Structure 1
């Protein structure tokens, strides 16, 4: 067959090239399915040939980048089956559908009759691009609201969050052009341990110290809302382009991300940003392997970055948190008296998380200001009785059991959920499974899933094995009692 190789080609040759591409599109649809075809191949058009190079065009830079990197070799192979002389497939953007930047207040429209301004090629990210001071990103993509009080300055540091804070500061302090240090950075913690404070501190720090860097903070729910809205408005390409051109993407509460298409879009966004050396920071209430709905490739991508956990604060950190909160209240109520013995009582009694400590301080101050009752131990016992009761009836979570067990036996939490079967790992894993069954309401299949997707029969075997060991091995019985005491603190 005659190769379609001239750089200036006839209409017949152009028609033949388009016919080639239509045939290949049908093959791609059959090979990859309707969803992938619609997302990546449907809007690619055949432009022509330059020597032995096939030129295809895409509507946006993102589609060009993605298809060239992920499907370019396959498309070339399919072209070569039709014409073996073809050596390359080259993609270009035929018309970027980028959102227009909002016009500055007071600016006037250009005079169409006057001379057109001289156009100059814009770099990928212009240094003089204005960045809004609010959470609005150019192109109309608004981020979730940021709390100005969530900064590194008023974040209490301690053993339970030292690594996470250090990593977050490293990300926030990075300069344009620096190598991305930890990507993605994944922060895992239970409710109220400071995930949101840490994520918003990164965003607030970058916007203050480096206002030309484009940072976007989104909750998972808001990410879903904007994506669904873009689908309804038929503006998904614009949504994707804006999202993938920021410097730092921060997503909070990833566990609330739902929907197959939303998960796919999140996976594409994550891959594109990480591959292009843009920083991604994510927080969730559990590790990536324990999140429902994530595709294996997304779990793998998240696991390839830095995973840090925020633990429950110890006594000294809880007291430090209380002192910060009380100092803030004294700026409002200058006559406020908060005895040291009450601070100590609250620090020892409210052991759940920082949010409950905030609530305890707010309640005591409210009682004091509204009833003129002095803050003392008697008042604290009455005002905080529900928090104290919650502590008495609180049941540990599987994450708590894994954390305490791994610390007690000197193994990592990743070891507990791994496939490793050495004795030093198997016994702590079996004990953690036993405690999960006896101290939590979780089912055997759920426990198995949280321990590396193990079968429920494996959990049942572990429970029975530990029950046998308790009867014949005093050391195992002592270890379990110690772990229960640690979980009750």
Structure 2
């Protein structure tokens, strides 16, 4: 056993180095070696939640490190800790017991707890009382993602206004839009908006819980296994604001059923629900129709692609943050404009561009002109194959650009505010896709191919004389192809 203890000590050091101090402290501090039996390593933990989490996420890493120490070991078994597992007292037992006691009373990372003054506490994992449950459901919040740092532009002004209405609501006030559903492609700021709103609501004293869909599913499944499902449900339904991110990952009939029940219970009780995903409710694949219908029953807001002005604002904001840590860092206005035109994908790439400019400035000591900026960000603007454009993407982008709904474009409405965007969307569908005129007509509310042909010819004629319209269409083409 003494030799096994030394091997275990080395494995712990490897895990700490590989995963980092925070992850190691959260999940491995209470893990203890029981014995090595033939080719099997037996480890113990104080709670069922810990055992399940480590088995699902880290068991292969642990096994790999043991095999590096002894190739004869081929299996790791994790068991619940009990007095019978220990053949003799160990010097560190009081410390381990203290760690287990702390974990069981949920002194885990604070970011995993529901937030707000007087917020409900997670279901406690009381091993001594026989309750081996779990509801460390709150997902971590990034303290940098506050509403004050969220840059507002034409593409996200409505989503920001809706979020601010929720943030500024009083305790007990009935929600105006419930649920609020925000959807956007990757890197356009929906997670920043949700996390910023969660932190602002927390500071107002209301009880708020921010969850990713994955965390919701894991918490629900874990509560079923631990037989604490009722407490799980009661906890979720006892908060003032529930925020769910990445709803497109919500899978499994039981998880979706519980999610739908939770939405209904909170909305019926006048509690605010906010949901975000990378697509509209009707486009969520694998999600039950009743869940889609419930999500679409409130206010659905899309965050569109970043326009030129918003990309400049984001760059300027990130540069100011960088200058707070390095006062000598400066980017000329013409370079900012150039980078904003060169990187049009999403906010994450813009942040990456600022990091590269900062690295160039500090590591080379050279001045930042347009040529130097091109060199620094070349990997972010590398030439890519134009992406395949979908008619649905065209309809959504055009609708957002002209402040109408996609349903308006597909409808039979003949008002000027709808007809022009519809014709432009048809023109773009013919220009940017390989779809035939009859197919395009079907995708635009079952219209005849002659209607599509008329729209295409009309827009073709107008762009030759209307420079403003030509510029708008070129802008839309770039956004669709990037």
Q: In the TM superposition, what is the alpha-carbon distance from 1:293 to its structure 2 partner?
A: 2.8
Q: Secondary structure at the match of 1:238?
A: helix
Map of 2:185 onto structure 1: 190
Q: Does 2:349 match 1:359?
A: no
Q: In the TM superposition, what is the alpha-carbon distance from 1:219 to its structure 2 partner?
A: 0.8
Taking structure 1 as the reference length, the TM-score comes to: 0.63
1:319/1:344 contact within 8 Å kept: yes
Q: Secondary structure at the match of 1:193?
A: coil
Q: Which has the larger radius of gyration?
A: 1
Map of 2:252 onto structure 1: 259
Of residues 142, 150, 156 in structure 1, which corresponds to 2:145?
150
2:159/2:301 contact within 8 Å kept: yes
Taking structure 2 as the reference length, the TM-score comes to: 0.64
Q: Secondary structure at the match of 2:174?
A: coil
Deviates further, 387-396 or 293-302: 387-396
1:188/1:310 contact within 8 Å kept: yes
2:151/2:313 contact within 8 Å kept: yes
Change in Cα spacing, 1:291 to 1:314, as seen in structure 2 (3 Å) is same
Map of 1:200 onto structure 2: 195
Q: In the TM superposition, what is the alpha-carbon distance from 1:140 to its structure 2 partner?
A: 3.2
Map of 1:170 onto structure 2: 165
1:255/1:292 contact within 8 Å kept: yes
| Cα distance in 2 for residues equivalent to 1:243 and 1:447 | 45
Q: In the TM superposition, what is the alpha-carbon distance from 1:278 to its structure 2 partner?
A: 0.9
| Cα distance in 2 for residues equivalent to 1:443 and 1:168 | 41
Structure 2: tracts of 5 or more residues without a match: 1-102, 108-115, 125-133
Map of 2:155 onto structure 1: 160
Q: In the TM superposition, what is the alpha-carbon distance from 1:400 to its structure 2 partner?
A: 4.5
Q: Does 2:388 match 1:401?
A: no
| Cα distance in 1 for residues equivalent to 2:351 and 2:278 | 20
1:253/1:283 contact within 8 Å kept: yes
Map of 1:25 onto structure 2: none
Of residues 253, 260, 265 in structure 2, which corresponds to 1:272?
265
1:191/1:353 contact within 8 Å kept: yes
Q: In the TM superposition, what is the alpha-carbon distance from 1:321 to its structure 2 partner?
A: 1.1
Map of 1:282 onto structure 2: 275
What is the 5 A alignment of 1:12-411? 129=118, 140-210=135-205, 213-390=206-383, 393=386, 396=389, 398=391, 400-406=393-399, 411=404
Query: Which 4+ runs in 1 deviate beyond 6 A?
Result: 441-444, 446-449, 476-481
Q: Secondary structure at the match of 1:217?
A: strand
Q: Does 2:456 match 1:466?
A: no
| Aligned-residue CA RMSD (Å) | 3.7
Map of 1:488 onto structure 2: 478
